[in-house]
Amino acid sequence: MSSKASRWTKQLEVIMDIVYRNEFNLTADEVYAEARTQVPNISLGTVYRNLNKLVQTGYIASVQKGQVQTFSKHPFTNAHFECVKCKRVLRVPFDLRTTDLSKKVGMEVTNFELRMTGVCRECESKCI
Amino acid sequence: MSSKASRWTKQLEVIMDIVYRNEFNLTADEVYAEARTQVPNISLGTVYRNLNKLVQTGYIASVQKGQVQTFSKHPFTNAHFECVKCKRVLRVPFDLRTTDLSKKVGMEVTNFELRMTGVCRECESKCI
DNA sequence: CCTTTGTTGATAATAGTTACTATTATGAGC
DNA sequence: GCTCATAATAGTAACTATTATCAACAAAGG
The distance of A14 to chain B (nearest Cα, Å) reads: 22
Same domain as A65, residue A15: yes
Nearest CB to A118: which of B81, B108, B113? Answer: B108
Closest residue by Cα to residue B35 from B63, B71, B1, B66? B71
Residue B84: inside a domain, yes or no?
yes
Same domain as A42, residue A90: no
pLDDT tens per residue, range A112-124: 888 888 878 777 7
The pLDDT score that the predictor gives to residue A1 is 38
Q: What CATH number corresponds to the domain at position B55?
A: 1.10.10.10
- Chain Cα centroid distance, residue B104: 23
pLDDT tens, N- to C-terminus, chain B (128 residues): 334 678 899 999 999 999 999 988 899 999 999 999 999 999 999 999 999 999 888 889 888 877 899 999 865 557 888 887 777 778 787 878 888 888 888 888 888 888 888 888 877 766 54
Residue B75 to residue B86: CA distance in whole angstroms: 27
The distance of B31 to chain A (nearest Cα, Å) reads: 19
Its domain, for residue B40, covers 10-72
Q: Alpha-carbon dihedral of residues B99, A111, A120, B76, nearest 10 degrees?
A: -40
Residue A75 to residue A56: CA distance in whole angstroms: 13
CB neighbour list of residue B126: distance below 8 Å, 6 or more residues apart? none
Same domain as A40, residue A93: no
